[in-house]
Chain A
Amino acid sequence: MAESDLALLQERFEYLTERASADHPAVNCPADKLIELCTALRDEFEYDMLIDVTAIDWDAQSPRFTGVYHFLSTTKHEYLRVAADCTDDINPVLPSLCGLYAAADWHERETFDLMGIRYQDHPDLRRILMWDDYPYHPLRKEFPLAGIETPLPAADVAEQTGASLIAAPMMGGPFVSSGDGPMSQTEPRARDESWTENKQKPSD
């Protein structure tokens, strides 16, 4: 079913290219055609549910940011992935799908918060996880996992306590589970415990 959908889509929208995918059918779509494509997906191809909106940061490559959308057809029980490259690497912009799918609202706010992609015509594009004045987009490649020193959102609490957002001590981390073996031995821990912030990593 979905294979034919893919063929039908490509036939109808000549700008679509098939995207390499390990699981479900996927297409690349230019950002300015996204609304047109998604309208057809919803109204004609029965992809009535927007499962996920996310993005990829390709770091040094250009285009740097790719928006990724996952659709589900609840009648055909098929998934479809749509990827759209942002043309601008410095201020990435994508059209908002809020007008088509209500689910896009918070998903796009999250992607804006963590990746810094602005969704045009989004009704309420505020941060959703970090606080409004937070200056960074933490899932971008250049952002360190430990964080960057920033004042606390509440000025009076910061003043009373002297606390601020500090770069978290990684202590050889990040803390990850090895994943295999009995649960008692796979608790998340630092892979490389030879260094801490106080005891520098021995240089190779």
Chain B
Amino acid sequence: MDQKTLAYDSKVEGEVIVTQADAVINWIRKHSVWPMPMGLACCAIELMAAGGSRFDMARFGMEVMRFSPRQADCMIVAGTVTYKMAEVVRRIYEQMAEPKWVVAMGACASTGGMYRSYATMQGVDRIIPVDVYVSGCPPRPEALLDAMIKLQDKIGRESAVKNLTAATASKRAAAPELAGAGKDY
């Protein structure tokens, strides 16, 4: 695939594994995604199905659903975000420890969906940086699994060491870009 892939041949290399820090860090991170369900509407039901035994997210190494933002590193925004709820979503996101990722599950979380109204935020990407968008109303559990696998791929491509050193140098990670900020139509 690429040079970051771990390749180890014990006959040649003995007990030494040579690799890159990025590859190791990303490998660890992507296989231990701890999602936090931000279940706000009917999408959360499909999210539960994805976690249950029939679809079984555990097969891909992300079954540890945590209901506390302190213990999670991937927020799955499943449902309609109202303007009143936006503050709560943002605060919970801020409480998650770095590194963290966000999946916008379903039409409502991605764009406001069919709720073109005064009460509904037109896409959660206006207040938190979204990594993966899932289409559907609601998406099937397979779609969410696909999104989570895509998120794993994305985590695998990150420059983990560079991000870490940059964060240490500036004492704070640069604020990720909000795709939806200031968007008008």
Contact = CB atoms under 8 A, between A and B. Distances in A.
Interface stretch (A21-29, A36-44, A151-159): A151-159
Interface stretch (B70-78, B81-89, B165-173): B81-89
Contacts of B15: none
B152 to A, nearest CB: 27
Q: What's the dominant secondary structure at chain A's contact region?
A: loop
Interface residues on A, range: 20 to 34
Given A152-B87, A154-B90, A161 B178 contact: yes
A70 to B, nearest CB: 25
A138 B184 CA distance: 22
B118 A147 contact: yes
A170 interface: yes
A99 interface: no
B71 to A, nearest CB: 23
A138 B82 CA distance: 14
17 contacts: A131-B84, A147-B118, A154-B90, A160-B175, A163-B121, A163-B127, A166-B122, A166-B184, A168-B112, A169-B116, A169-B122, A169-B185, A170-B116, A174-B117, A175-B114, A196-B185, A198-B185
Interface of A: 129-131, 136, 138, 143-148, 152-154, 157, 160-163, 165-166, 168-171, 173-175, 188, 196-198
